Amino acid sequence: MTDRITTLSPNTQGYLVSDTQRNKVLRNTYGLLSLSLLPTVAGAWLGVATGIGNMMTGLMGMLVFLAIAFGFIYAIEKTKNSAAGVPVLLGFTFFMGIMLSALIGRTLGYSNGPQLVMTAFGGTAGVFLAMSALASSIKRDISGMGQWLFMGVVVLLIGGLINMFFQSSVMFLVMSVMSIGIFSAFMVYDLKRIIDGGETNYISATLALYLDIINVFQSLLSILGIFGGERD
């Protein structure tokens, strides 16, 4: 029996992908996404234990981070169709764990720090589950969202650079809330691409969803630290 072919037409180009292939990509993506959290936790633990994450501060630290991060992303895209793709992706998630360690370390400095970290983790998981359900229920083409969401990310990057000089807590809070909204929407967009057959490589799909999740977690933890952090 042949697989049913589903044809969609976003951006005037149809997706010709069988249900079996789409389900395989989605299943492999979820599996690799779960696996990617292990190096992230290991990197965060190492960063908190050694303080190495605190070295990436200020404008120079941000530029170094962006250079390394985009280098990893480039390498992942270049190796996504080979056996090296998964190890490179896991190396990137380990690096991202180290980068998260500075925020996690500051949060653990609160008397209720561990609870805040677990709350942010649970909140992020809740957002992901909600966005997964939403992506599965949407029938219309949402491919046009991509360019608007990308513009939102550019605004966040520019705002982050500007706020390095102004150090405004209000601006930081506004950007954190915007980040949660933008990357939650990106979850829907990226999941819908997999469901519709627009993304057929599970390594690329995992990378996109991982970045969405990490940004939501980081922003949520920052907000919880501002409003819920307790000192002894």
Overall pTM surpassing 0.95 (yes/no): no
Closest CA to 185 of 121, 128, 125: 128
Tens-digit pLDDT profile for residues 181-205: 999 999 999 999 999 888 899 999 9
Task: Output the CA–CA distances (angstroms, integers) from residue 1 to 4, 15, 17, 203, in the order listed.
Answer: 9, 21, 16, 29
Beta strands per DSSP E along the chain? 5-8, 15-18
Decide: 177 and 219 in contact? Cβ < 8 Å: yes
Tens-digit pLDDT profile for residues 119-171: 999 999 999 999 999 999 998 888 888 899 999 999 998 998 888 888 888 99
Burial of 66 (C-beta count, 10 Å sphere; 0-12/13-18/19+): exposed
Per domain, the residue ranges of the chain are 14-228
Q: 141 by DSSP, 3-state: which?
A: coil
Q: Which two tokens stand for residue 187?
A: 């979850």
Q: Which two tokens stand for residue 36?
A: 């990617």
